[in-house]
Amino acid sequence: MKIFYEPNHLQHDPPFEGYNDSGPQPSYEKAARAEKVYAALGEVEWAEFHPPTDFGLEPILAVHSVTYLDYLHSAYQDWQIHSPVSGMAFIPGTYGIDHQKAKGLSGFEQAGFFLMDTTVALTPGTFLGALQSAHCALTGAQALTMGESAAFSLNRPPGHHAGREICGGYCYFNNVAIAAQWLSRSGKVSILDVDYHAGNGTQSIFYDRADVLSVSLHADPSDEYPYYAGHATETGAGPGVGFHRNFPLPVGTERSRYVEALESALELIARSAPEYLLVSAGMDIFKDDPLGSFKLTQDDINLIGRKISSLTLPTLIVMEGGYHLPTLGSNFAAFLEPFGERAFS
């Protein structure tokens, strides 16, 4: 199974993600996440590592705006003009709404229009890390068109919270949306999101479109981030009505409840008859994850992977969340095992 990985992600390692009464709080989305997964997959016989191809900016600009990319590219340098603080760009305490107004402002003033929350710190290596993350997903999508039955994009930072012109939840470029947009030129695409948190960015990008079915299982946004998106009543808009489906799950969800929802999601995907499946995979569904509340074990995670693999579609798995470092690598290995076995056979 081809796994696409780029060590440049190490340059994006935010020192903290916000403040509380005790001061700066360490970021959960750290460079060690990808390194743990890389190490674990290095021990299985079906893993085959490859660097990503540079696709340039065109596929990214098919999803994100020029204004947004310009901001992310220059924001850290603009911040350094205003502050000598090393390693982290300005994170506003208030947020703008009118992106048209933002286009007339300086880079420093634009921050509140493009940063959704305090988890999206901007460091000297953030833009490069995000760019290479997108290239990993694109190279995985390309592998499917070349006959691979499955591929894994071992990328960070993650992507499914990033919208067309907004970043949040550790996400800057929406890797799975970029890959889906590119891959849709070669055939019908469906997206399945099994991260613990609702992929509000992916939902917003495809919400009014009928060419990509997007389905998501996640913690009920009434209780969990991102709060404002991911509800069961959100099923698409305009031409996209019926082409998005959310399965919000309650705090403490265990195997039986999760598998029931997953089987419903897989039935929807099977009925849509896609030629390719893209999976936003987050191991924050694991029972010990510090940012999750589900009660799923590693065996459950392996079962989830097996059920998705049973669709026998050419499948790209894109790395999203998962913050319990001691088990993150083995959890991803468990999830990927059925795809790896299929590709290896």
Active site (catalytic) residues = 161
Phi/psi-derived region of residue 216, left when phi > 0, alpha when psi is between -120 and 50, beta in every other case: beta
Interacting residues of 122 by C-beta distance below 8 A, sequence separation 6+: 72, 75, 76, 79, 88, 89
| Peptide bond preceding 157 in cis form (omega within 30 of 0) | yes
Contact between residue 82 and residue 49 where contact means Cβ atoms under 8 Å apart: no
Handedness of CA 253, 254, 256, 260 (dihedral sign): positive
- The residues that bridge with 266 in the sheet, in sequence order, are none
Closest CA to 158 of 129, 118, 138: 129
- The residues that bridge with 258 in the sheet, in sequence order, are none
Cβ atoms within 10 Å of 67's Cβ, excluding its own: 15
Range 237-262 burial, b when 16+ CB lie within 10 A, else e? eeebeebbbbbbbeeebebeebeebb
| Cα separation, 276 vs 180, whole angstroms | 9
| Cα separation, 1 vs 315, whole angstroms | 11
